[in-house]
Structure 1
Amino acid sequence: MSEALLREYRVCEEIGRGRFGAVSLFQSLDPTRPGSFAVKSISKASVSGDDLDSQCLLSEPKILSLLSPHPNIVQIYDVYEDSTHLHMVLDLCNGPDLHQLLVNAGRPFSESEAAPLFAQLMRAVAHCHRHGVAHRDIKPDNILFDPTGRLKLADFGSADTFSAGPLSGLVGTPYYVAPEVVAGRAYGEKVDVWSAGVVLYMMLAGFPPFYGETAVEIFNAVLRANLRFPVRTFGSVSPAAKDLLRRMLCKDISRRLSAEQALRNPWTASGGVVDNDKNDPT
């Protein structure tokens, strides 16, 4: 491990592991910046070559530095490199992620529970897009919470910049990936809006809007984009929430909301407290 890293931080324990490395709890040895941090260590051997994963992972520190600081995005503090690994010192978010919160709840979230979380997520996404960054892997597992309970969008290992032109490549997680990505077309930042719409649907329903038994079946369902609101689950969900979902999970990219528009949507802005007496075409 990097000698410079170990001069500044004390390693405590491993708290997570992924395809490209581990995340560990570190304690700062700098009295001017005390506290605990997460250190994400990326194995260079696992990302060697010219594949898309390698390019994105090695650019993650640069992208996080571009986006930091933001209250709803995991902040990067330091980057260290040794012969085998790249180490990023990040905000510590060691509580349950959004996926775990949904599992622990054992039920869908109410609108008043979901809306404040969704607003924080869209603030993060809008900030990314203002800086020319598409996250490309928004899902509950990558939505973390700091010790104060503040939402933090994390894991920018699939992120890329779109300011120089459209993006390409099948990147993301099957349930959450946008149809234009599955179709193999060039795409832009609105893929994140689609993914965030799936996250909102998951919070309100407890299951994804497009599903299948295999990745191929899921992708086919995403391509069809046949959005439904089962009465048993959505009978008590407001027309305003369903309207927002329709506008985010819209296959026509030109009609899909931007992140800023989703953030300013009345349902989001009201904290999920809306007039349920509006006519609902569902």
Structure 2
Amino acid sequence: MLSESLKNKYQPCEEIGRGRFGVISKAFCPITQSFFAIKTIDKRLLSDPTDRQCLENEPKIMTLLSPHPNIVQIHDMFESENALHLILDLCQPVTLYDQIIQHDLSEPKVASYAKQLVSGLAHCHRYGVVHRDIKPDNIFFDFRGNLKIGDFGSATWLGELCTADGLVGTPYYVAPEVVMGRSYNEKVDVWSAGVVLYVMLAGVPPFYGETAEEIFEAILRGNLRLPSRIFRSISSEAKDLLRKMICRDVSRRLSAEQVLRHPWILNGGETISMD
């Protein structure tokens, strides 16, 4: 499926990932003596018009946002009749999801990850881009250990009214206004990032159920709980930030820029609990 023009510039190596619409492979560029990731999207699998629109948007959005230290960068693009190939930063095989599963993350480590995540989101929002699928599986690390937001396949631009619509995202991380079918703004990413922060600190999501419908019902009830058996050792500053990110009232929910100015973020998680 790889085009000849791509093969002339990059030497494909092993497959390193697979998604709904294609595969991700490792590739070597002899010109730069560097390794990259090739995201190959099979256009024949895109029967839904929304999916086709996302296919067109993803490279444009990633080009607009590049470069930023906390966003996976696009370096090149090749298109053939049946496939689109995006040349991206090569990241570690371990995602944030893997880190959460494998390690008991300290507050300073979580604060560092949260700062990098929200810094990337703030950059997106300055350009009117909403990611719409922030979750640990879409958060990667480069080989220096820097966090990078990836997979902009669900991302969109805010329109003239500075809103977007559509039920997009992953159930555990979707904001209530998305579930309700309302128009929404970039703060849906802040809600999702707040849920990611909760999961990093607690090891479990704040809203859960056996099915997507049950998860959505829990999100719509919207009562954020910070059980003492889980959050006993978590600082009051971290819990304050969680409440201000996972906030049903969009007008009171912090923006990404405001999150970056929160004391817990500014102090790198090195805080003394006041509980």
> Same fold judged by TM-score > 0.5?
yes
User: What amino acid sits opposite 1:37 in the alignment?
Assistant: F
In 1, Cα distance between the equivalents of 2:216 and 2:55? 24
The residue matched to 1:204 in structure 2 has which SS?
A: helix
* Corresponding position: 1:112 with 2:113: no
Deviates more, 1:164-173 or 1:190-199: 164-173
Q: Please give the residue correspondences for 1:1-282 in structure 2 after superposition, counting only pairs within 5 Å.
A: 1-30=2-31, 33-50=32-49, 52-105=50-103, 107=104, 109-165=105-161, 166-277=163-274, 280=275
Residue correspondences, number: 273
The residue matched to 1:228 in structure 2 has which SS?
A: coil
What are the superposed Cα offsets for residues 208-242 of structure 1, whole Å, 9 maximum, x if unpaired? Answer: 00001111000000111110011111011111110
User: What amino acid sits opposite 1:213 in the alignment?
Assistant: E
TM-score, reference length from structure 2:
0.97
Alpha-carbon contact 1:73-1:152 (below 8 Å) kept? yes
How far apart are 1:271 and its partner, in Å?
A: 0.4
The residue matched to 2:28 in structure 1 has which SS?
A: strand
The residue matched to 2:33 in structure 1 has which SS?
A: coil
Runs ≥4 residues deviating over 6 A: none
How far apart are 1:112 and its partner, in Å?
A: 1.1
How far apart are 1:113 and its partner, in Å?
A: 1.5
Alpha-carbon contact 1:95-1:146 (below 8 Å) kept? no
TM-score, reference length from structure 1:
0.95
User: What amino acid sits opposite 1:45 in the alignment?
Assistant: R
Question: Over the residues paired in the alignment, what is the CA RMSD in angstroms?
Answer: 1.0
What are the superposed Cα offsets for residues 31-67 of structure 1, whole Å, 9 maximum, x if unpaired? Answer: xx221000001111112442x2221122100000000
How far apart are 1:100 and its partner, in Å?
A: 0.5
The residue matched to 1:11 in structure 2 has which SS?
A: strand
Residues 49/208 of structure 1: CA separation in 2 closer, same or farther (3 Å cut):
closer
Alpha-carbon contact 1:47-1:54 (below 8 Å) kept? yes
How far apart are 1:163 and its partner, in Å?
A: 4.2
Alpha-carbon contact 1:95-1:147 (below 8 Å) kept? no
- Structure 2: state its 5+ residue gaps: none
In 2, Cα distance between the equivalents of 1:197 and 1:57? 27
The residue matched to 1:213 in structure 2 has which SS?
A: coil
In 2, Cα distance between the equivalents of 1:266 and 1:274? 9
The residue matched to 1:14 in structure 2 has which SS?
A: strand
Percent identical residues: 59
In 1, Cα distance between the equivalents of 2:203 and 2:52? 33
The residue matched to 1:123 in structure 2 has which SS?
A: helix
